[in-house]
Amino acid sequence: DAKTTQPNSMESNEEEPVHLPCNHSTISGTDYIHWYRQLPSQGPEYVIHGLTSNVNNRMASLAIAEDRKSSTLILHRATLRDAAVYYCILRGYTGANSKLTFGKGITLSVRP
Amino acid sequence: DAGVTQSPTHLIKTRGQQVTLRCSPKSGHDTVSWYQQALGQGPQFIFQYYEEEERQRGNFPDRFSGHQFPNYSSELNVNALLLGDSALYLCASSLDGVWMNTEAFFGQGTRLTVV
CB contact under 8 A, A43 and B98: no
Provide the shortest C-alpha distance from residue A92 to chain B (in Å).
Answer: 8
| Chain A residue closest in CA terms to B48 | A99
Torsion of CA A34, A35, A38, A44, to 10 degrees: -20
Residues in A touching B56 (Cβ below 8 Å): 96, 98-99
**Sheet containing A70-75: order of strands:** A18-23, A70-75, A61-64, A55-56
* pLDDT at A96 > cutoff 90: no
- Grade residue A2 by pLDDT with cuts at 50, 70 and 90: low
Of A57, A46, A56, A59, the residue nearest A91 (C-alpha):
A46
Residue A43 and residue B100: Cβ atoms within 8 Å? Answer: no
Supply the pLDDT for residue B102.
82
Dmax (CA) for chain B in angstroms is 43
pLDDT tens digits, A75-92: 999 999 999 999 999 998
B25-38 burial: b if 16+ Cβ within 10 Å, else e: bbeebbbbbbbbbe
Are the C-beta atoms of B109 and B7 separated by less than 8 Å? no
Of the residues A38, A100, A101, A107, the best mutation for testing chain B's interface (the one with the most B CB atoms within 10 Å of its CB) is A100
Give the Cα separation of B81 and B74 in Å (integer).
Answer: 20
Report the DSSP beta bridge partners of residue B108: none
Integer Cα distance of A14 and A59 in angstroms: 15
Which residues between 83 and 112 in chain A have a beta carbon less than 8 angstroms from any beta carbon of chain B? 85, 87, 91-105
Which of B42, B97, B105 shows the shortest C-beta gap to A87? B42
* pLDDT score at B83: 98
Residue ranges of alpha helices (H) inside chain B are none
Are A91 and B101 an interchain contact pair (Cβ–Cβ within 8 Å)?
A: yes
State whether B101 and A98 contact (CB < 8 Å).
yes
Tell me what pLDDT residue A1 has: 65
Give me the tens of pLDDT residue by residue for chain B, a chain 115 residues long: 679 999 999 999 999 999 999 999 999 999 999 999 999 999 999 999 999 999 999 999 999 999 999 999 999 999 999 999 999 999 999 988 767 778 999 999 999 999 9
Shortest Cα–Cα distance, B40 to chain A (Å): 8
Instruction: Give ∠ CA B101-B105-B107 in degrees, rounded to 5.
Output: 145
- Supply the pLDDT for residue B58: 95
Work out the percent of chain A whose per-residue pLDDT is above 90.
Answer: 85
Residue partners of A38: CB distance under 8 A and separation at least 6: A44, A45, A84, A85, A87, A105
